[in-house]
Structure 1
Amino acid sequence: MNKWTFFKKASRFGVIPVMIVPVVLGALGAFVWEDVFHPFLFILTFIGAAAAHLFSNMVNDLWDYRSGADMEAKNTPGVITTNSGFLSGGLISERRFALLTWGLLLLAVLCGAALAFYAGWQVLWFVAGGALLAYFYVAPPLRFGYRGKGYSELAIFVAFGLMPVLGSYFVQTGHFGIKPVLLSLPVGLLTTLLLFNHHFLHWSADKQAGKQTLVVVLGEARALVFSRILLYTAYVSLVVCVGIGVLPVYALLALLTAIRPIGVYRGLKRHNASPAYLPLMGASRQASIRCGTIMAAALLIQGLVGNYWS
């Protein structure tokens, strides 16, 4: 395969929208609420956040391979793996994979340093926090993803909801606010749901490898209940955002994105084979991206209409 195809597959580039959408939301929040938008700073934020996300994907693969979790999943019948397969399949050396991984972190840090210079040193808190969350999600000694007490879910919410929205807003405005925090709730919770649901695909192999995800700890049936609660909480937070004026009323169109995952839940039983969770994964991913996109479109329309009439 060519280098670009290799990079896309190794970094799982296809899931990048779950990071980009929150960054866009934060910038649009600044545009609508504060009437500011700095294209150069937005581009730097965009590139840095994307690089940090891809680093997170690859470093997770690296440490799941080293811990044996990926090999256990590969060798367990009926289990669906969610890693890139490059290391567990012996398609690339660990050293080459690690070099690309750390190269992405370097790019993210350089973008963060530039943003700190132009927008304020507080940006470095986001750079450091993002790097630590990405690395220690599966790396020892913290290994959030292996502890199964909700630590990994909290880390995902912060990394894919609160930090990109609030950080992008701060870069544009130079200050923090409660509105971007509230704005981060729907997309942050839906992305947390996506990462939570992907554990259903290989939870039995995770259990054998000692990876105590929340699905392993709760058990399949109770984890499905928790998954539904997480979905409903995300959409309740969307309604709250509209109710208190963080989003315009037409952002409620994003509620339509809940239809597909709810339909998938209805087709699941208390216990299911791994392939039965593939539709849930697809529905969760679509809900996260589409809900965030509709929220972003609603904010953009609000900002453009407001500027037109002012």
Structure 2
Amino acid sequence: MFKVLCGVARANFLSLTLVCIALAATASWQAGHTLSPMLLLLVAVVSLAAHISVNAFNEYFDFKSGLDFLTQRTPFSGGSGTLVNQPEASQLALLLAIGSLLLLISGGLYLSYQLNWQPLLIGIPGVLLIYGYTQYINRWPLLCLLAPGIGFGIFMTLGAYWVLAGSLSASAWVLAFIMMLLVSNLLLLNQFPDVEADKQVGRRHLPIVIGRRHSASVYSLLLLLSYLILILAIVAGYLPWHSLLALLSLPLVARLLPGLFRYADKPEQLTPYLGLNVLLCHVYPLLLLAGLIWAGPA
């Protein structure tokens, strides 16, 4: 059963949540706020519950719609295949999704009671996003593009900073927007191998609507925008100059983009570049985090 739960939760991808929380916590510390270990732990648990819930709902709904039987799975896309191999575990997946969502709601309400109600302004839409992503949002191309980034960038990274610091800052918004662009790109590229299968169940994400090659251009623009925001934030003094350390991620970009355009319409050859994209989504914010540590408390 534990193996099934890990598969449905997509445990190997939960590291992205830890990166978001670590970045928010480091930014809060760098801004001069005192970190409470217990508060940080609770924020991490609530955030992991959110990620597990959206993954489990995705696994359950894609199994029920039949999509999981149509996709050509890669290590980075097409779901885990857990319920295809063990269909009797579908109710367990649904219970995990609902249980994680209830844990998220309970933790969020506790935090709002202990601190203040304002983070609920992003917490409540976050809950709606978790449930609605697979069933509804995938049918709206622009919303489908932005929703993952909003979830991890605005709701998770910015929300964690808000709870840990007790207020918002320009630097927190900058980091949230950078994570938003990176994670939106992560899901965008992961949709490339699933275009034909997703069409059959009524999805309408960007690679379906405008094609893979044009979607590769969108990917490039969003990635360029993330670096532009980083540099402008440093010039404006919102981030310390040490944050330029994040530019050490550019060699990954230099490897990824040519391959993406070369194989945009050959998804069976895209797997190495999907892996590079996952790596970039971790390395970029971790280098940014290292830069904030290097700068020290303001």
Q: Aligned partner of 2:258: which letter? A: R
Tell me whether 1:194 sits opposite 2:186 in the alignment. yes
Instruction: Write the mapping of 1:1-310 to structure 2, written as runs, cut at 5 A.
Output: 3=2, 5-73=3-71, 82-139=78-135, 143-148=136-141, 150-267=142-259, 268-269=261-262, 271-304=264-297
- SS of the equivalent of 2:82 reads coil
Superposed displacement of residue 233, structure 1:
1.4
Q: Is the 8 A contact 2:242 2:295 kept in 1?
A: no
C-alpha distance in 1, partners of 2:286/2:225?
Answer: 18
Q: Is the 8 A contact 1:183 1:246 kept in 2?
A: no
Superposed displacement of residue 258, structure 1:
2.8
C-alpha distance in 2, partners of 1:25/1:273?
Answer: 35
- After superposition, the Cα gap between the structure-2 partners of 1:273 and 1:133, relative to the gap in structure 1 and judged at 3 Å, is same
Give CA deviations for 1:16-51 in whole Å, capped at 9, x if unaligned.
Answer: 122222222222222222433222211110110011
Q: Is the 8 A contact 1:191 1:285 kept in 2?
A: no
Unaligned segments of structure 1, at least 5 residues: none
C-alpha distance in 1, partners of 2:201/2:216?
Answer: 21
For these two proteins, the number of residue pairs brought into alignment is 297
Give CA deviations for 1:132-153 in whole Å, capped at 9, x if unaligned.
Answer: 11110112xxx112222x1012
Q: Is the 8 A contact 1:247 1:298 kept in 2?
A: no
Q: Is the 8 A contact 1:224 1:270 kept in 2?
A: no
Q: Is the 8 A contact 1:183 1:241 kept in 2?
A: no
C-alpha distance in 2, partners of 1:201/1:177?
Answer: 38
Q: Which deviates more from structure 2 when the two are superposed, residues 42-51 or residues 239-248?
A: 239-248
Computed over aligned residues only, the root mean square deviation of the Cα atoms, in angstroms, reads: 2.3
C-alpha distance in 1, partners of 2:82/2:64?
Answer: 13
Q: Aligned partner of 1:102: which letter? A: I
Q: Is the 8 A contact 2:4 2:82 kept in 1?
A: no
Superposed displacement of residue 81, structure 1:
5.1
Superposed displacement of residue 270, structure 1:
6.2
Q: Which deviates more from structure 2 when the two are superposed, residues 281-290 or residues 88-97?
A: 88-97
C-alpha distance in 1, partners of 2:164/2:41?
Answer: 11
User: Stretches of 4+ moved more than 6 A in 1?
Assistant: none
Identical positions, percent: 26
Q: Is the 8 A contact 1:10 1:58 kept in 2?
A: yes
Q: Aligned partner of 2:168: which letter? A: F
Q: Which deviates more from structure 2 when the two are superposed, residues 18-27 or residues 111-120?
A: 18-27
C-alpha distance in 1, partners of 2:194/2:241?
Answer: 40
- After superposition, the Cα gap between the structure-2 partners of 1:178 and 1:63, relative to the gap in structure 1 and judged at 3 Å, is same
Q: Aligned partner of 1:99: which letter? A: L
C-alpha distance in 2, partners of 1:303/1:256?
Answer: 20
C-alpha distance in 2, partners of 1:244/1:183?
Answer: 14
* TM-score (structure 2 length as normaliser): 0.91
C-alpha distance in 1, partners of 2:36/2:155?
Answer: 19
Give CA deviations for 1:109-130 in whole Å, capped at 9, x if unaligned.
Answer: 2221221122212233333221
Superposed displacement of residue 92, structure 1:
3.6
Q: Is the 8 A contact 1:169 1:180 kept in 2?
A: yes
C-alpha distance in 1, partners of 2:215/2:223?
Answer: 12
* TM-score (structure 1 length as normaliser): 0.88
Unaligned segments of structure 2, at least 5 residues: none
Give CA deviations for 1:94-120 in whole Å, capped at 9, x if unaligned.
Answer: 212111221111222222122112221
